[in-house]
Amino acid sequence: MAGAVSRSLHSARVLVALALIFGIGFCALFAPAIAPHDPAEQNLVATLLPPAWAADGDAAFPLGTDSLGRCVLSRLLYGARTAMTVALFASLGAMIVGSILAHITGYVGGAVDWIIGRAVDIWMSFPPVILSLILMVGLGTGLDKVILAIILVDWTRFCRVLRSEVLVVTRRDYVAAARLLGFSHWQTIVKEVLPATLPLLITLLSLEMAIAVVVEAILSFIGLGVRPDQPAWGQMIADARQYVYQSPWNLLLPIL
């Protein structure tokens, strides 16, 4: 395990990925201190300004302004805050729900496994983005609603994949030995099964965080995500579409 981590840290691709993740996380965490302007502050005299390095740019707005004169850099930073909040809490929520059910179904088996397995099959038969849209129509807009919708859709991914791993782990000798030593079912799952499934759980969590960011952007793009007064990358892309020829940077920057 330690050797694999050490080899990964010497990979250029891993180092670049880690640098990007920590960079975005830093910007999201310290957005109020880094952002040059309030992301909601409008300046109708300075609409659609280009980035500062362009001919008509303004140093007060390093990445220009949008159609309402709002600072693009400030909105990008606060949009990162929104994206990271959704990624963290939605992924953790989906992981907790899915992993608990996966360990129960894989360990107990029988009727419990059949019932939860069929529920997962039915839930996963719906396209996840379409299901998220349906849930958002019912739940309403808002950051907490986006997080809840992603949890309700994506817990099945954790449950399906982890259940297969739990079935393999529960057949190992050390799990049988724990049962013979008098461990309760709860103790066996927590002390013997969970540590063996943890690497897969971490991998799924990292993938889910990326998926959550994309889903949040899609929902915000079509107006079913966060509130209009809260900056979000998808919302920025939607607002910039009609000005793509006048100010292409407003569309390209949140996409990048």
88 and 10 belong to one structural domain: no
Identify whether residues 172 and 243 lie together within a single domain. yes
> What percent of the chain lies above the pLDDT cut of 70?
94
Find tokens 């892309």 and name the residue: 237
Q: Is residue 63 part of a domain?
A: no
193 located within any domain: yes
Cβ-proximal residues to 36 (8 Å cutoff; 6+ apart), any chain: 60, 61, 62, 71, 73, 74
Domain-located, residue 69: no
Range of the domain at 16: 1-30
Residue 212 sits in the same domain as residue 124: yes
Q: Is residue 124 in some structural domain?
A: yes
Q: What is the pLDDT of residues 117-165, one digit of tens each?
A: 899 999 888 888 888 888 888 888 889 999 999 999 999 999 999 998 9
**Residues 186, 116 share a domain:** yes
Tell me, what's the pLDDT at 2?
A: 44
Number of domains comprising the chain: 2
Q: Cα(125)–Cα(8) distance, rounded to whole angstroms?
A: 36
Q: pLDDT tens digit string along 168-204? A: 988 888 888 888 888 888 888 888 888 888 888 888 9
Residue 221 lies in a domain: yes
Distance CA 169, CA 184 (A): 16
Whether residue 73 lies inside any domain: the answer is no
Residue 253 lies in a domain: no
Residue pair 62/69 in contact (Cβ under 8 Å)? The answer is: no
Please state, as a whole number, how many other Cβ atoms lie within 10 Å of the Cβ of residue 21.
Answer: 13
> CB of 68 within 8 A of CB of 44?
yes
pLDDT digits (tens, 9 = 90+) for 68-89: 889 999 999 999 999 999 999 9
Highest mean predicted confidence (pLDDT) among 27-31, 92-96, 118-122, 243-247 = 92-96
Q: Are residues 2 and 97 in the same domain?
A: no
Alpha-helix residue ranges (DSSP H) falling in 109-193: 110-124, 128-139, 143-169, 173-180, 185-188
What is the model's pTM? 0.85
Tell me the mean pLDDT in the region 59-73: 89
CA–CA gap between residue 203 and residue 242 (Å, rounded)? 39
Radius of gyration of the chain (CA): 23
139 and 239 share one domain: yes
64, part of any domain: no
Confidence of residue 6 (pLDDT cuts 50, 70, 90): low
* pLDDT at residue 3 greater than cutoff 80: no
